[in-house]
Amino acid sequence: MGKFLKLLRVEQWVKNFFVFTPLFFSGNVTHVDLMLKSIFAFLVFSLTASSIYVLNDYSDIESDKKHPEKCKRPLASGAISKTTAKIIFVLLILSVVLLVFFGGDYFHKNFTKFSIIIASYFFMNIAYTFKLKHVAIIDVCIIALGFVLRVLVGGYATGIVVSQWAILLTFVLALVLAIGKRRGELINAEISGKTRKALDGYNVQFADIALSISVTLAIVCYLMFTLTPEVQEKFGVRVFYTVLFVVFAFLRYLQQTLVYNKTESPTKIVYKDRYIQVTILIWLIAFLLLIYLKK
């Protein structure tokens, strides 16, 4: 079972928690019906993302065999056969189609928009897998756009309007993670002496500058988000102080990236870095307190 979960990259589903951000920031986390809709959207998006991971691993078998870590992936290592991977891919697609089809009545007027976002994510990532991941800058922008689609899916599933600041914040935050991942890959390439086409158009100096710009934009966007009238009306003026947690989390991320070179896989930070885990937990508690205190 472990090798199949690894093929589906279930540990990467943590990224799909962005689906819950519209519900969380709207102050409706205790609304049962909206929570169920968000969970449904999370499941559909996660299965769609897993189908892309399977396709990506299938197309990269030969290159992954030469990578010091990716060679351990189920397909590259031979733990799962190509035929089995094809069957799993088809089953995932069928599962998504059935869930979306039978969930149509659940979403009512937003069903079409929800379906379009899921389909857009799927086909965008097919293009990314076979071509666009080798095009510098466009590749990281597509990764960032994928996070925006996660937020929009959560918004359409619940009927909650996503603000422009929230969309922009999501994009630049994801851009930080994507550029940090590329920088980690560049460092590993320098150490091993092996590079790959996806890194063409990048070097460490460019990654450092792009990362600094993206972090600055992310902090500014979050700051502006907390200062918008609708957000302060929902959570109160004290929501502004949550910026402190965001600044600390980004500084810690930059430290891990620029000092320790540990961010080839950004999701590993969420699972391993205690400082960022505690900061995220305090940030979440702060928002929950603001929601209940406001009410």
Taking each helix axis from N to C terminus, what angle separates 32-59 and 82-102, rounded to the nearest 10 degrees?
Answer: 150
**Tokens encoding 187:** 């460092």
User: Which of 269-295 are b and which e, b meaning 16 or more Cβ less than 10 Å from the residue's Cβ?
Assistant: beeebeebeebeeebeebbeebbeeee
The structure's pTM equals: 0.88
Return the closest-CA partner of residue 214 out of 243, 255, 269, 177.
Answer: 177
Per-residue pLDDT of the chain (295 residues; tens, 9 = 90+): 788 889 899 988 989 999 999 998 887 888 899 999 999 999 999 999 999 999 999 988 887 787 777 788 888 888 889 999 999 999 999 999 999 888 766 666 678 888 999 999 999 999 999 989 889 999 999 999 999 999 999 999 988 988 888 899 999 999 998 998 888 888 877 776 666 677 888 999 999 999 999 999 999 999 998 998 888 888 888 899 999 999 999 999 989 888 887 766 677 777 788 999 999 999 999 988 887 776 5
Tell me which residue has tokens 């600055």.
Answer: 216
